[in-house]
């Protein structure tokens, strides 16, 4: 006789429907691999009547996901509603308190409340997993937590928001500006209800904070992620970066430094020929670096019904197989808060500024940079007679505080029009 693992699934949107489809279509395969029959006891969503393209009539129904989470006939609660608070959090807490394992795809929930949820789960001796929350179908939580368990992790980096990468690579491919592509993404359904979660880097920042907690054995600390969105990137930036052999990516980097834990999710220039530089469209890529393994690169679909559901099933199968790990790889009660790095590690920077057409304008800018200890690698002034002049500067390796001081001092020169753009050049 085969044991049964009984699920309660809250949320029947893109991901939830994907999970139901796999469980229905691959029932025998899942049993062969896990030794258990994986069955859905009951589901919950907002609207009971919506046609979702899957038959859920044989499952129990709860209007309230909290009621679903504590049902006697479920062993595991699968949270696929989304949102860092509200019903997702309440139902997850209720499931843990009722002694149910929890699988979720919810990066916002984990990035903001992961520590307390993990402590609660471990105290109650249940498992809380979230492979789908980071980089969709790529099994990156597993690779980092288990596959590289023998390594001291030195750096984690990646492109983890497909929408931003789609916008940036389409700007280059089509010559359209940011706004046109932002609107296209809205029409295509590529944007979250609050688009700032995507283009502001928040969603990708949540993912980075989760990877950093696992990598460095520290408490997840989303507030310490330095965030910068892609809204200020122009087609000109992309073209000029290209001329110099770079691509612009919304790049997450987490590394432990002598000054504390550095976490950033910001637009960066990366070498056009690197794996990250070659990443097109909505695909995600995560780079994991360890003291023994060197560099591992993982690439795949970061979102969408099938890939995300695949990751949810990975967690479900793990638990069915008896694979039970603490949420962040180490017991949550032992995790310490990492001191956030006071500033990003030094790097070369790409600067774009617009100079008023005044004599000596460039010299004034160069002086401000020099006064702040910033040395210039390359500079290019575009020739627009009788107009404001765009100037591009690539610096040598620069400490971020020096750069900030220079940027703060520029307005007083009276020759700079508008806000300068400063993008880090990352060697990854």
Ligand X SMILES: NC(=O)c1ccc[n+]([C@@H]2O[C@H](COP(=O)([O-])OP(=O)(O)OC[C@H]3O[C@@H](n4cnc5c(N)ncnc54)[C@H](OP(=O)(O)O)[C@@H]3O)[C@@H](O)[C@H]2O)c1
Active site residues: 207
Tokens 């460039």 sit at which residue? 362
CB of 30 to ligand X, least distance (A): 20
25: how many CB neighbours lie within 10 A of its CB? 11
d(CA 313, CA 334): 28
339: how many CB neighbours lie within 10 A of its CB? 12
Answer yes or no whether residue 114 interacts with ligand X by CB under 6 A.
no
Q: 263 or 284: whose CB is closer to a second copy?
A: 284
Q: Is 107 annotated as a binding residue?
A: yes
Answer yes or no whether residue 46 interacts with ligand X by CB under 6 A.
yes
Q: Which of 80, 94, 62 is nearest to 20 (CA)?
A: 80
CB of 123 to a second copy, least distance (A): 16
- Residues touching ligand X: how many (CB under 6 A)? 26
Identify the sign of the CA torsion 268, 379, 170, 201. positive
Q: Which residue is nearest to ligand X (CB)?
A: 13
Q: Is 146 annotated as a binding residue?
A: no
Contact of residue 156 among ligand X, a second copy, none (CB under 5-8 Å per partner type):
none
d(CA 159, CA 211): 13
Contact of residue 231 among a second copy, ligand X, none (CB under 5-8 Å per partner type):
none
Q: Which of 290, 222, 307 is nearest to 256 (CA)?
A: 290
Answer yes or no whether residue 84 interacts with ligand X by CB under 6 A.
no
Q: Which of 38, 39, 56, 36 is nearest to 47 (CA)?
A: 56
Sheet with 76-79, edge to edge strand ranges: 60-61, 36-44, 3-10, 76-79, 101-104, 128-129
Structure tokens at 272: 């056009």
370: how many CB neighbours lie within 10 A of its CB? 12
CB of 181 to ligand X, least distance (A): 19
Question: Can you say how many angstroms the Cα of residue 338 is from the centroid of all Cα atoms in its chain?
Answer: 20
Q: Rule CB under 8 A: which residues touch a second copy?
A: 18, 22, 26, 29-30, 32-35, 131, 137-139, 142-143, 146-152, 217, 275, 278, 290-301, 306-307, 309-314, 316-318, 321-325, 329-331, 334
| Residues 133-152 contacting ligand X, CB under 6 A | 133, 136
CB of 89 to a second copy, least distance (A): 26
Question: Binding residue for ligand X (CB under 6 A) from 7, 9, 10, 416?
Answer: 10
Q: 200 or 390: whose CB is closer to ligand X?
A: 200
CB of 36 to a second copy, least distance (A): 12
Contact of residue 46 among a second copy, ligand X, none (CB under 5-8 Å per partner type):
ligand X
d(CA 357, CA 361): 7
Answer yes or no whether residue 14 interacts with ligand X by CB under 6 A.
yes
CB of 379 to ligand X, least distance (A): 42
Answer yes or no whether residue 80 interacts with ligand X by CB under 6 A.
yes
DSSP letter assigned to residue 137: T
Q: 44 or 228: whose CB is closer to ligand X?
A: 44
| Residues 47-76 contacting ligand X, CB under 6 A | 47, 50, 65
d(CA 39, CA 278): 41
Q: Using CB under 6 A, which of the segments 25-33, 99-107, 146-154, 407-415 binds ligand X?
A: 99-107
d(CA 418, CA 421): 10
139: how many CB neighbours lie within 10 A of its CB? 19
Answer yes or no whether residue 308 interacts with ligand X by CB under 6 A.
yes
Q: 80 or 225: whose CB is closer to a second copy?
A: 80
Question: Which residues line the annotated binding site?
Answer: 107, 192
């Amino acid at each position: 006789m085969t044991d049964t693992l009984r699920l309660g699934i809250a949320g029947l949107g893109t991901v939830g429907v994907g999970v139901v489809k796999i469980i229905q279509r691959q029932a025998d395969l899942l049993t062969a691999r896990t030794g258990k029959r994986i069955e859905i006891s009951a589901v919950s969503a907002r609207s009971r009547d919506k046609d979702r393209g899957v038959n859920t009539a044989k499952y129990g129904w709860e209007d309230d996901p909290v009621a679903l989470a504590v049902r006697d006939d479920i062993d595991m609660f699968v949270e696929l509603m989304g949102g860092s608070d509200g019903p997702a959090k309440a139902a997850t807490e209720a499931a843990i308190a009722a002694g149910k394992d929890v699988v979720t795809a919810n990066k916002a929930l984990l990035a903001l409340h992961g520590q307390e949820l993990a402590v609660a789960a471990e105290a109650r001796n249940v498992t809380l997993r979230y492979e789908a929350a980071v980089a969709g179908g790529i099994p990156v939580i597993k690779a980092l937590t288990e596959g590289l368990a023998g390594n001291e992790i030195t750096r984690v980096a990646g492109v983890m928001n497909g929408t931003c990468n789609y916008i940036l690579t389409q700007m280059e491919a089509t010559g359209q500006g940011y706004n046109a592509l932002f609107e296209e993404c809205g029409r295509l359904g590529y944007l979250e209800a609050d688009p700032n979660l995507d283009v502001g880097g928040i969603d990708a920042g949540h993912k980075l904070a989760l990877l950093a907690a696992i990598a460095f054995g520290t408490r997840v600390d989303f507030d310490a992620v330095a965030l910068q969105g892609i809204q200020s990137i122009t087609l000109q930036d992309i073209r000029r970066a290209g001329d110099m052999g770079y691509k612009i990516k919304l790049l997450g980097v987490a590394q432990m430094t002598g000054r504390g834990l550095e976490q950033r999710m910001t637009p960066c220039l990366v070498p056009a020929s690197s794996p990250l530089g070659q990443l097109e469209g909505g695909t995600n890529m995560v780079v994991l670096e360890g003291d023994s393994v060197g560099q591992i690169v993982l690439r795949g679909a970061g979102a969408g019904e099938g890939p995300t559901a695949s990751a949810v099933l990975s967690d479900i199968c793990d638990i069915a197989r008896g694979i039970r790990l603490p949420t962040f790889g180490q017991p949550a009660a032992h995790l310490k808060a990492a001191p956030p790095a006071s500033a990003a590690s030094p790097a070369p920077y790409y600067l774009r500024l617009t100079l008023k057409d005044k004599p000596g304008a460039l010299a004034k800018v160069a002086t401000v940079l020099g006064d702040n200890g910033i040395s210039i690698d390359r500079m290019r002034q575009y020739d627009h007679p009788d107009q404001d002049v765009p100037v591009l500067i690539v610096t040598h390796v620069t400490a971020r505080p020096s750069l900030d001081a220079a940027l703060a001092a520029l307005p007083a020169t009276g020759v700079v029009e508008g806000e300068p753009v400063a993008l880090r050049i990352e060697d990854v």
